[in-house]
Chain A
Amino acid sequence: EAQVTQNPRYLITVTGKKLTVTCSQNMNHEYMSWYRQDPGLGLRQIYYSMNVEVTDKGDVPEGYKVSRKEKRNFPLILESPSPNQTSLYFCASAYIPAGEQFFGPGTRLTVL
């Protein structure tokens, strides 16, 4: 089944403790991206990647890192999480940049 998977789905952590949210797609898509969703603010793009080893900042990249060493994986790294990064995070992928994006199920992160 074609899908985008994220892990973990739920995470509660404390300020400053480094964490990684994994994202993987099995559709051989070149394009992948990360979004966060907060009440009243809709989805905002954090980072995106057009292909392996190519990443670019979205609207709200501060406090996040990404890497794209393999086509299928696009992990989101929070080196020193803070409470304002408490949010619902979505990973997405697309075959071509201007095409349909497939979204993962989301990761609900709480930073205490």
Chain B
Amino acid sequence: DAKTTQPPSMDCAEGRAANLPCNHSTISGNEYVYWYRQIHSQGPQYIIHGLKNNETNEMASLIITEDRKSSTLILPHATLRDTAVYYCIADYNNNDMRFGAGTRLTVKP
């Protein structure tokens, strides 16, 4: 079983921010929070990861709560091409990457 829980699906209007939540209440102190996405049956694509601090890159922002029990992935200006399944994963060194079912994000015009 995945160590994280995510809503099965979400919708977002094109151009608006998409906020994808993830619960990881049993995360241990040395485990990172990773986000990947998968478009159709293509190979998953890395988005971002973090340990304690919030992180931002050219694709997204990752907000991790102070107690590290949950996080939110933010796509600041969602486009139709962001429609995908988004996976939140808690792992230390890639040897227990449990992708789970993820959140199916649909960006609508």
Chain A residues within 8 Å of B, Cβ to Cβ: 4, 31, 33, 35, 37, 40, 42-45, 48, 56, 58-59, 88, 90, 92, 94, 97-106, 108
Contacts and interface: CB of A to CB of B under 8 A. Distances in A.
Interface residues of B, number: 23
Contacts of A42: 2, 87, 98-102
A98 B92 contact: yes
Interface of B: 2, 32, 36, 41-46, 49, 87, 91-102
User: Which DSSP category, helix, strand, loop or mixed, fits chain B's interface?
Assistant: loop
B93 A106 contact: no
A45 B43 contact: no
Contact of A48 (B32, B95, B101): B95
B94 A90 contact: no
A101 B46 contact: yes
B94 A94 contact: yes
A94 to B, nearest CB: 6
9 contacts: A4-B43, A31-B94, A33-B94, A48-B95, A58-B95, A98-B92, A98-B94, A102-B46, A103-B43
Contacts of B46: 100-102
A43 B94 contact: no
